[in-house]
Amino acid sequence: MTPALRVAVIGSGPAGTYAAEGVLKQLPEAQVDVIDAGLSPFGLVRHGVAPDHLKIKSVTRVLARTLGSPRVRWFGGVRVGDRATGADLEMAELQRRYHAVVVATGAPRGRRLQVEGDHLSGSCTAADVVPWYNGHPDALPPLATRARSVVVVGAGNVALDVARVLLKGGADGLGETDLSDETLAEVRVLGAAEVHVVARRGPEDVKFGVAELRDLANLADVRLEVDPADFATAMPDDGTPVALLREWAQREAGTGERRIRFHFRRRVSRLHGTGGVESVALAAGPGAADPRPLVLSADLVVAAIGFRSEALSGLPYDEELGRIPNVAGRVVPGIYVAGWVKRGPQGVIGTNRLDAMETVAALVADAPVLAARSVDPGDIADLLARQGSSVFTWDDWLRLDAAELARGRDRGKLRAKFAGRDRMLAALVGSGSSEALTGAARPC
Amino acid sequence: MTYVVTAGCVDIRDKACVDVCPVDCIYEGDRKLYIQPDECIDCGACSAACPQAAIFFDEAVPTDQQWFVDDAVGFFSEVLPGRAEPLGMPGGAEFVGAIGVDTPAVAALERAT
């Protein structure tokens, strides 16, 4: 018989959910409580994966099997941190009640450009914009209500997602998504028609995926502008991102009124504007085809240059690496990490399965020691109820899920979300709530 | 769209892809692995994990290996040798275990000596 451990997992994105799945499978007597600050499960699958990538989002089918298991309880709307700043629970309280705690809180902060003008309204990060268009209850729309021209900085798929979603949305092309009517209207009014993608790297070093590049090529009436001078003479291998970019550079850009322009080997040197961003200055980096500086008009700048984890009160934190220090997922016996807070913001959804297995292996190795420790038998459900925290249960989620599916059916699509905390709550209980925003959303 | 396992997997079957597939949709034949195209969510984790670089996004499969795209569809929609009905969508390889047979086209591939 395996030890009957009580395990808490913080975060119900892919990393936390695969960790929970691993614990269920490897410790058949264990019970798992999954705690999430959000009103919905699935983390970045819901709030990070682009809204037009519905096939990727369908991974929720598998994640829900774990979260809906009779051996799992899901506590939504519950924040773990420092009670002095409004958290519902503290790490120390979890450690008293559980044999093991797995932290899978991700990397929710966007890295900023840190150049002059970065404070202007209209200067956002992907961590502001992506949760907004994905209907995160605490996210805010950009302060710039109109943004015909957008500069997206970054050489990864997040940059391409932002470029594509804003361009599609500006032309009413996000019909086949799970977005709410309210968000669709906000993206349409923003009206992006021209997106500049700025990368420090050259085209041979970008982290763009072939699938994401092809998504751009499939946009109707959008010109893809790539400078042939950015390419080395050697022919790249077929099927690589650089081969695709080179192909675009060598053909006619097309006649669409809207466009995406790639700027390689350039960095943002400053943002100009009075009040809001009006233009973006680009400096040439090493190896740039054109060494002259360049100024682009833009109403909105989105830095998609990386994410950072947040420190969790009561645990060590490596400021330099932006994650919780650990060895193969073990912080100390009894405390573990999985996903981006463990290894940094990289990899695709599937990466988290292997990553969580490593963490669970560490936990299982410690299980005999952990089981010998007596824990407070008190139930966090009672504690949360006593202190008046509003908790969303798995049944609540299933009702919201059903309401979103029904709203989608009415609109001829798979799902339509509800935008904003109040509308989500109204869909759930039939009335809105005036509860203050608990997220750290920052208007930009 | 889907990811597709191609020639590089045949008689190698490293299976690094299986551990990273978030939906457990990579099924084991006798000589290679097969991705269930309707269960695949296009995340690409398998492609990055394959030490043989044998897994491609379907639109990016090299021309001489295009036939693996339809072959993978057939692995699930046709009745495989020794089976009574098509595999269909089992919902996860863990539920069915190793299948142990291949499509006729893969079974007929010449073995490296």
pLDDT digits (tens, 9 = 90+) for A7-65: 999 999 999 999 999 999 999 999 999 999 999 999 999 999 999 999 999 999 999 99
Q: Is A289 on the interface with B (CB under 8 A)?
A: no
- Decide: helix, strand or coil at residue A325: coil
CA angle A69, A71, A72 (to 5 degrees): 70
Does residue B38 form part of some domain?
Answer: yes
Q: What is the rounded distance in angstroms from the CA atom of residue A330 to the CA atom of residue A342?
A: 9
Question: Between chains, do B43 and A348 touch, taking CB under 8 Å as contact?
Answer: yes
Q: What is the rounded distance in angstroms from the CA atom of residue A131 to the CA atom of residue A280?
A: 24
Tell me how far the alpha carbon of residue A204 is from its chain's centroid: 26
CB atoms within 10 A of CB B105: 13
Q: Is A25 on the interface with B (CB under 8 A)?
A: no
Nearest chain B CA: its distance from A294 CA (Å): 35
Question: Between chains, do B57 and A357 touch, taking CB under 8 Å as contact?
Answer: no
Burial of A395 (0-12, 13-18, 19+ CB in 10 A): exposed
Does residue B74 form part of some domain?
Answer: yes
Question: Between chains, do A55 and B41 touch, taking CB under 8 Å as contact?
Answer: yes
Q: Are the C-beta atoms of A415 and A404 separated by less than 8 Å? A: yes
Q: Are the C-beta atoms of A32 and A7 separated by less than 8 Å? A: yes
- Token pair of A117 as six digits: 């003008």
Burial of A388 (0-12, 13-18, 19+ CB in 10 A): exposed
pTM: 0.93
Each residue's pLDDT expressed in tens, for chain B with a length of 113 residues: 899 999 999 999 999 999 999 999 999 999 999 999 999 999 889 999 999 999 999 988 999 999 999 999 999 999 999 999 999 999 999 999 999 999 999 999 999 86
Distance between start and end Cα atoms, chain A: 54
Burial of A162 (0-12, 13-18, 19+ CB in 10 A): buried
Greatest CA separation found in chain B? 36
Looking at chain A, which residue has its C-alpha nearest residue B55? A239
Interface test mutation site (partner A, options B18, B20, B59, B94, max chain A beta carbons within 10 A): B20
| Contacts with B41 from chain A: Cβ below 8 Å | 55-59, 349
Q: What is the rounded distance in angstroms from the CA atom of residue A359 to the CA atom of residue A342?
A: 9
Q: Are the C-beta atoms of A437 and A443 separated by less than 8 Å? A: no
Q: Which CA distances in Å does A224 have to A115, A171, A255? A: 28, 16, 10
Provide the pLDDT for residue A1.
Answer: 60
Provide the pLDDT for residue A88.
Answer: 97
- What range defines the domain where residue B51 resides? 3-107
CATH number at residue B91: 3.30.70.20
Residue type, B74: G
- Decide: helix, strand or coil at residue A6: strand
Q: What ipTM score was computed for the predicted complex, to two decimals?
A: 0.88
Provide the pLDDT for residue A83.
Answer: 97
Residue with token string 């268009």: A133
Count chain A–chain B contacts defined by CB atoms under 8 A. Answer: 62
Burial A32-70 (b: 16+ CB within 10 A, else e): bbbbbbbbbbbbbbbbbbbbbbbebbbbbebbbebbebe
| Contacts with A210 from chain B: Cβ below 8 Å | 57, 60
CA angle B89, B95, B96 (to 5 degrees): 75
| Contacts with B24 from chain A: Cβ below 8 Å | 62
Q: What is the pLDDT of residues A166-206, one digit of tens each?
A: 999 999 999 999 999 999 999 999 999 999 999 999 999 99
Interface test mutation site (partner B, options A21, A55, A157, A360, max chain B beta carbons within 10 A): A55
Q: Which CA distances in Å does A3 have to A24, A369, A379? A: 12, 10, 19
Does residue B113 form part of some domain?
Answer: no
Residue with token string 């209980």: A429
The torsion defined by the Cα of A115, A119, A124 and A127, in degrees rounded to 10, comes to 90
User: For chain B, what is the domain count?
Assistant: 1
Does residue B112 form part of some domain?
Answer: no
Provide the pLDDT for residue A238.
Answer: 77
Residue with token string 């824990």: A375
Provide the pLDDT for residue A430.
Answer: 61
Q: Is A209 on the interface with B (CB under 8 A)?
A: yes
Does residue B39 form part of some domain?
Answer: yes
Residues whose CB falls within 8 Å of the CB of residue A395, separated by 6 or more in sequence, listed in order: none
Mean pLDDT by 10 residues, chain A (444 residues): 88 98 97 97 97 95 97 97 96 98 96 96 96 93 92 97 97 93 94 97 94 91 94 83 94 84 97 96 92 96 96 95 96 98 93 96 97 95 96 96 96 92 83 46 81
Q: Is A14 on the interface with B (CB under 8 A)?
A: yes
